[in-house]
Amino acid sequence: MKKIYDSAAEALDGLLKDDMLIAAGGFGLCGIPERLLDAIKDSGVQNLTFASNNAGIDNEGIGKLLRTKQVTKMISSYVGENKEFERQFLAKELEVEFCPQGTLAERMRAGGAGIPGFYTKTGVGTVVAEGKERKEFPNRDGVPETYILERGIFADLSIVKGWKADEAGNLMFRKTARNFNLPAATCGKVCVAEVEEIVPVGSLDPDCIHLPAVFVNRMILGAPYDKKIEFVTTREREAA
């Protein structure tokens, strides 16, 4: 099977359609599949739902697709750094399903494992629990506690960014970029990855592989990247 493609557009060829649910990796601006998101924007597909920890910032990450009105629903945890997201949400132009961060990661992981749902205490007694099935389970002391049912996420497409991969598609993520890329990769029918470096098979320590090649269907070399900083923090230079 051919896994390495020359461009993001080629890697996504035949996979994109309107009304898709796409699981996207990344944490803030760290580990987001920039090249693949650009290719999705350029394709012109519409009415997309994204399951992602956040929506990037204005004009970065999924924020680019919000600008072009290609996204109609977000399943997200943290959305506080995107003004266009805020504007569309308050104007009722964008449907938002807020999901606690750990629950969102587990919903992706569950989908990847073929688990349709699971019970959790997170969100009980809040708006997160509205409309969801509730069930009581005894805790360690035998006292019943309320849990809510959360559904696994089964996406049409997964897009992720890796640090290093071999030619077979075994992936390594680096530090914070590992957040959400791993569970997002497993819950899609097809997974397309962009990576910073591709090495020959056998070059990676098997114990250091985070995502086995069996989960990766297509792959591109996305480098070089410009390092984007979400918050620039500086301090005044001390006087000599």
The answer on pLDDT for 240 being more than 70 is no
What pTM, to 2 d.p., does this model score? Answer: 0.91
Specify the 3-state DSSP secondary structure of 200: coil
**pLDDT in the model for residue 232:** 75
**pLDDT in the model for residue 18:** 98
Average pLDDT over residues 88-92: 94
Could you give all domains of the chain from N- to C-terminal order, each with its CATH number? 4-115+154-221 (3.40.1080.10), 117-151 (no CATH)
Average pLDDT over residues 168-178: 94
Output the 3-class SS for 63-105: HHHHHCCCEEEEEECCCCCCHHHHHHHHCCCCEEEECCHHHHH
